[in-house]
Amino acid sequence: MAGLKYMSGFGNEFSSEDPRCPGALPEGQNSPQVCPYGLYAEQLSGSAFTCPRPANKRSWLYRILPSVKHKPFIAAPCGDLTENWNEVEPDPNQLRWLPFSIPTPTKKKVDFATGLHTICGAGDAKSRNGIGVHIYTCNASMVDMCFNNSDGDFLIVPQQGEILITTEFGKMLVEPNEICVIQQGMRFSVDVFGATRGYILEVYGAHFELPDLGPIGGNGLANPRDFQCPVAWYEDRHVAAGYTIINKYQGKLFACQQDFSPFNVVAWHGNYTPYKYNLTNFMVINCVAFDHADPSIFTVLTAKSTRPGVADRTFRPPYYHRNCMSEFMGLIKGHYEAKEEGFQPGGASLHSIMTPHGPDVDCFEKNSRAELKPERVAEGTMVRLDCWLNEDLRGKHSNPQFVRLSPQAFMFESSFSMAVTKWGLQTCQTLDKNYYQCWEDLCSHFDPSWKPSKQ
């Protein structure tokens, strides 16, 4: 599609602004008191905050409204998308499939989200260890709807028909013989231009990376410069009829409504992005003497089964964010600065993997206008206890090893996707069903006429 631009490189530190809003990226800091153009700052994390620098993945998004402003998620039909690996008995025989049928649009319109079909897989999204293989067959574009995978990364391989993928980072056109990766937690919508079919590899526990080259040397296979990520593009669009966010969470689908497009990111910077790659750029290393080399010499991307730095000594600053950990938080006494009224001693909160959260309306507005001067945060509180689990290379889990003292809210943070019990949802009868309302009054501060300060 003419007009689409990309940035080059794999895992680079990118920065991008929609040209309609020059200067939208804050200078010198990630989360200023007031962002340019009246935007909201939101961090999207794909790794533990304290991962070693080479493994640390995060991007800062500067958006017209934060992703936390939405109605509650409710269960949605999963169709043929599943994580139940015990539906049938094991079959050790060789298997082969004829081409998968694409529905005829005159009989039924099917978009990307409803056209997902799981073929095979293993593992468990809750423990963040496993993979799934899916086919997508569709004939219609997604309208006022986007998909969000809280379980893992999607590696999409189109087989028939090009797809236009709109993401929070910008747009990518992906054609057959190209691949693209939509990493965990990134919202995207798919436009198609006729009968469309392709394959998806989903990984739960790790992100894709380039394989080491070893004796091949410094060049070869998939070169980093041939990977492309989109440039910033935003739409400031009110959707009165409702915009649907479809969330794949713990192997099931859930849907929520909001009244604005999620693709309202005016600028962003970071190294956690969607990206695409043209397979024709792959530099093949082959054999010219004898024998057949191991297939590892044809590896484009790899997702390692273990990864260091998961949820290790992590601190949670109160900005709008989504991340790859589960956060259970309680308050023993005092108040929590991000939600001074609603979060009460003796209560608790659970922010699940890639569920957006952050300050309530009062906290955001007050701190956006507050005089910038030194002040005590969380006055009257006592200690904060951060407890977490470490995972060793054998996949076994130790007991909580660290207790860190700081103010007196506490957090149990885990790389596991934690399931809520029936007691927690029903029996205890203390679930605050109006929690989402603390973000309902978040309003747009977007000012297209904003100009950078001359200071």
Among the listed residues 238, 292, 335, 397, the single catalytic one is 292
Residue 355 CB neighbour total at 10 angstroms: 19
**DSSP-H helix ranges across 302-391:** 361-369
CB 262 within 8 A of CB 168: yes
CA distance 342 to 435: 8
Distance CA 137, CA 154 (A): 16
Concatenated DSSP letters of 106-123: TT----TTTTEEEEEEEE
Ligand-binding site membership of 321 (annotated): yes
B/e letters for 417-439, b = 16+ CB within 10 Å, e = fewer, are bbeeeeeeeeeeeeeeeeeeebb
| Residue 436 DSSP label | G
Contact 298/111 with Cβ under 8 angstroms?
A: no
Report the alpha-carbon distance of residue 429 to residue 410 in Å, rounded.
Answer: 22
- From the list 167, 165, 132, the residue with the least C-alpha distance to 44 is 167
336 carries a ligand binding annotation: yes
Q: Is 199 annotated as a binding residue?
A: no
Environment class of 444 (CB within 10 Å of its CB; exposed 0-12, middle 13-18, buried 19+)? middle
Those residues whose C-beta lies under 8 Å from the C-beta of residue 88, and which sit 6 or more positions away, are none
Based on the residue annotation, tell me whether 335 is a catalytic residue of this protein: no
CA distance 68 to 258: 10
Residues marked as binding for Fe cation? Answer: 321, 327, 357
Residues marked as binding? Answer: 321, 327, 336, 357
Residues with a known catalytic role: 292
Residues marked as binding for homogentisate? Answer: 336, 357
